[in-house]
Chains A and B, each alone.
Chain A
Amino acid sequence: MQEAMINKAKQLLADGTVNRVIGWKRGEFAYDITPAVFESAEELDSEFVYDDFTSANVSKYLVKECKKEGRILAFLKPCDTYSFNQLIKEHRVVRENVYIVGIPGGPKLDAEKIKAKGITGILGVKNENYTLKIDTVYGEETMPFYEAILDKCASCKSKKHVVYDELIGEDGDVLDSNRFDMVEKLENMSAQERYDFWREQLSKCIRCNACRNVCPACTCEKCVFDNPNSGVENKAPADSFEENMFHIIRAFHVAGRCTDCGECSRVCPQNIPLHLLNRKFIKDINSLYGEYQAGEDTTSRAPLNDYNKDDCEASIVHERGVE
C-alpha cells in the first residue's frame, strides 16, 4: 500500500497536478505516526509512512493547506472523506486546491491496547492472518489482531469514500455498525449510575484541548474556550462544573456536524471516551429529526440549522423511561 501511494504521489508531483503532498511520517516511535507535508520525491522516498498505525485524519490540516499556493495531494481514508466533505459543505476548504486520492481504511491499531498487554518497546508490527506479530526490543510477541484495533475502527460506520478524485483499491460500502451500543447501555442506566460514570471519566480531563484541536469539525478561527474573558481559557478544570461544561459545550458545538470519525477519543491522553458524547447527539438527531449522517453530502441542511413545524417538544426528554 505504502509503495503504491508513494508512486502515485511521485507521479502526480512529476506531472504538475499537485505541488505538495500531505501524508504521514514517523514520529519518535514506530506507533506515533504524525501527519506531514512533503514537497519532493526524495522526501517521499525517505519519510512517507503508511502502515497499521497510520490513523490520523488529515482533513483538518487541509483547511490551512488549501489556502496556500498550488494544489495539494491528500490521501484520505473513508472516514476522513466524510470529514472533508463536511468541510466542503461549510466552505472551510477550497475543493479545487485539493487532489484527493481515496485509500482503503483500517482497521488501524491502538498502541495503548498493545501496551496494555504488557508488550513494550514496540519496534514494528506485522499482521499475519489476523495475528499481530509485534517486533519489540525484547524479542517478538504476538496477539490477536482484532484485540489491538482502535475503538473507532471497531465500530466503523462506512468503508465508502464520499469524495475523491481517484481511488487506490476498491471502494467499500456503508456498514451496519454497532456504534450506538455503548450509548444505549448508558441510557439504560439510572441517573445516578450515569452521573458516576461520567464523573469518573470527565474528572480525568486535564484540558489539554487535544480533542478540540484534532477535531475536523472544530474549525473556528476563534474558539469560545480561548476567550480570555471566559475564565476557562488555557487552564485545567478547577472543579467538576468546568469539566462538565467544557465537554458539553465541545460536543454541542459539533452536534449535527460531527461525522463520528472518532479522533477525539483516539487522541485523548487520558482515554476519556469522548466519542460517546458526540454519538449521543448523533443518536438523538437520528431518532428525533430523521436519519442524518454529517459529511455524507454537501447539499443537505444540518439538523441544527433546520427545523420542522411539527418537531417534538423539549419535554420529550423528561418523558423518557429511565430516571
Chain B
Amino acid sequence: MQVNENKEFEPLIVAFCCNWCSYAGADLSGTNRLNYPTNVKIIRVPCSCRVNPMFILRAFQRGADGVILCGCHPGDCHYTSGNYFTRRRMTLLFSMLDFLGIERDRTRVEWVSAAEGAKFAATMNEFTESVKKLGPNRRLEDLRCRKQ
C-alpha cells in the first residue's frame, strides 16, 4: 500500500437533487460550462421530500464527508408542498445531529431552481470548500466502510 503524505484531503460530497428543479439546475450549470468540484456526487430524487433521515445517515455511513440536499424554492415544488415538509424535517434532523455533537457544517439544505445553474455551481464550490476545512467525517462514520 502506498501512502502519499502530501496528498490533500478530498472530501466526498453527496448531493440529493430533486428531479424538477435542482437536478435541472445542475444540468444547466454543466451546459453553461460552469465548474463545480468532482467531489460532488449527485443522487437524483423525485422530490426533496423523498429524502428521509435514513438516506442522510446512510450516506455518512458509506463514506460521505458532507451531505447537501437541494430542492425547489419554497412555493415552487412540483408537488405543491413537498419541500415545505423537507424544510421542517431537515431542520429537526440537522439540529439533532448538532445535538449529538456531529459537526453541523457537514449538512446543508439549499434551494436551487432549474434556472439557477450558476447558483448550483457556486453552492457546490463553497460547500466542498467548507467540508474540506472540516476534514474527514469521523464522528458519524462506519469503520467497516472506511476506505484505505
Q: Is the CB of A191 within 8 A of B98?
A: yes
Partner of A198, one of B53, B81, B100: B100
CB-defined contacts of A303 to chain B, threshold 8 Å: 88
- Chain B residues near A1 (CB-CB < 8 A): none
State in angstroms the CA–CA spacing of A48 and B57 once bound together. 46
Residues of A in contact (CB 8 Å), total 47
Cross-chain contact A309 with B102 (CB below 8 angstroms): no
Q: In terms of DSSP, what is the predominant structure of the interface of chain B?
A: helix
Beyond A251-B96, A281-B96, is A311–B88 a contact (Cβ under 8 Å)? yes
Residues of B within 8 A of A174 (CB): none
Q: Any chain A CB within 8 A of the CB of B79?
A: no
Render A182-197 as a binary contact track against B, CB cut-off 8 A, 1 for contact: 0100110001111111
Asked if residues A244 and B95 are in contact (CB atoms below 8 Å), the reply is no
Q: Which of A192, A196, A285, A307 has the most CB of B within 10 A?
A: A307
B99 touching A186, Cβ below 8 Å: yes
Q: Is the CB of B109 within 8 A of A309?
A: no
Interface size of B by CB at 8 A reads 37
From B94, B99, B140, name the one whose CB has the most chain A CB atoms within 10 angstroms: B99
Are A281 and B92 CB-contacts (below 8 A) given A191-B103, A241-B61, A309-B75? yes
Say which residue of B54, B99, B100, B105 sits within 8 Å of A318 (CB atoms): B105
Where chain A touches its partner, the secondary structure class is: helix
Q: Is the CB of B140 within 8 A of A314?
A: no
- Interchain CA distance A224-B85 in the complex, whole Å: 21
Are A284 and B101 CB-contacts (below 8 A) given A239-B144, A304-B88, A307-B85?
no
In the bound complex, CA of A245 to CA of B91 (Å) = 17
| CB-nearest residue of chain B to A316 | B91
Contact status A242-B142, CB under 8 Å? yes
Nearest Cβ distance between residue A174 and chain B, in whole angstroms?
24
> How distant is the Cα of A309 from the Cα of B61 in the complex, in angstroms?
33
A163 at interface, CB cutoff 8 A: no
What are 5 A-B contacts defined by CB distance under 8 Å?
A191-B102, A224-B54, A241-B61, A309-B74, A317-B98
Question: Which residue numbers of B lie inside 8 Å of A, CB to CB?
Answer: 53-54, 57, 60-61, 74-75, 81, 84-85, 87-105, 108-109, 139-144
**A residues bordering B, Cβ < 8 Å?**
183, 186-187, 191-199, 224, 238-239, 241-242, 244-245, 248-249, 251-252, 255, 277, 280-281, 284-285, 288-289, 303-304, 306-309, 311-318, 320, 323
Q: Which 4 A-B pairs have the closest CB atoms?
A: A195-B101, A307-B84, A194-B101, A314-B109
